[in-house]
């Protein structure tokens, strides 16, 4: 009886290890690549690349790529982002990431997910890269 229980537990342990390693391989970690996108490059996919375009045409959970600056701190992990045209939108910088490489009024490229609901629209920033001028 004990041999059967031990064999069963060993098999269950092996399956658990196999599933957890497979999940890590398939990208279930929280590392976001710098140029994250859900579509391949070179195609005209009509993704908005300005704040005005995001406000007018973006849908909830759409990945967008914008260039601009963080211009104002709104509290906790929220900031006001102004694109190169001067249009502004609220963005949220996930507190699980290190954003110390970004400064106020520094030109950056952000990649984020649109969060659109009945209250308004904001962008959950997944990555930000400083633009070298």
Give the pLDDT confidence of 59-93 residue by residue, as tens digits.
999 999 999 999 999 999 999 999 999 999 999 99
Residue 19 has pLDDT above 70, yes or no: no
Residue 75's contacts (CB-CB under 8 Å, 6 or more residues apart) are: none
pLDDT of 95 > 50? The answer is yes
What is d(CA 95, CA 76) in angstroms, rounded to the nearest whole number? 9
Helices (H), 46-87: 51-57
As a whole number of angstroms, the distance between CA 103 and CA 58 comes to 27
Among the listed residues 68, 74, 51, 65, the one whose alpha carbon sits nearest the alpha carbon of residue 121? 51
Handedness of CA 27, 91, 44, 129 (dihedral sign): negative
Q: Is the pTM of this model over 0.75?
A: no
In 3-state terms, what secondary structure has residue 52?
Answer: helix
């Amino acid at each position: 009886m004990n041999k059967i229980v031990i064999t069963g537990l060993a098999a269950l342990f092996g399956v658990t290890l196999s599933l957890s390693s497979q999940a890590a391989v398939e990208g279930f970690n929280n590392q976001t690549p710098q140029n994250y996108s859900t579509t391949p490059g070179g195609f005209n996919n009509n993704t908005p690349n300005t704040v005005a375009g995001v406000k007018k045409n973006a849908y909830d959970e759409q990945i967008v790529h914008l260039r601009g600056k963080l211009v104002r701190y709104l509290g906790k992990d929220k900031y006001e982002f102004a694109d190169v045209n001067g249009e502004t939108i609220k963005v949220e910088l996930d507190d699980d990431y290190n954003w110390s490489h970004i400064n106020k009024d520094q030109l950056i490229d952000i990649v984020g997910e649109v969060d659109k609901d009945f209250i308004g629209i904001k962008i959950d920033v997944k990555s930000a890269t400083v633009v070298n001028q």
